[in-house]
Amino acid sequence: GQYNEHFNNNFFSVERKFSQDSKYSVLVGTMKNSFDDRCLTLGVRRDWLKNDTGWVLKGVYAYTGEFFFDAFSHCG
């Protein structure tokens, strides 16, 4: 086929909480797909459960793909 996934995508992101005590944060990231095209990630993260030992169950909902900026317009 014409598509090979090499799993060498090198995803990088930054995250910022909405406030100091918020369970929610926003995530913005980037990666290159297997065709060496730059992709953009926009997402929201939520802390669902936290216990006294420091463990936190987190969930992320994100979009990764093409965006209208030229650098992200060919995510394929």
Beta bridge partners of 72: none
Reported pTM: 0.66
- Among 4-8, 35-39, 43-47, 60-64, the range scoring the smallest mean pLDDT is 4-8
Phi, psi angle pair for 38, to nearest 5°: -80, 130
CA distance 66 to 76: 7
- Predicted confidence (pLDDT) at residue 11 exceeds the cutoff of 90: no
- pLDDT, one tens digit per residue, over 43-57 is 999 989 988 888 989
Q: Give the domains, in start order, of the chain with CATH numbers.
A: 12-72 (3.10.450)
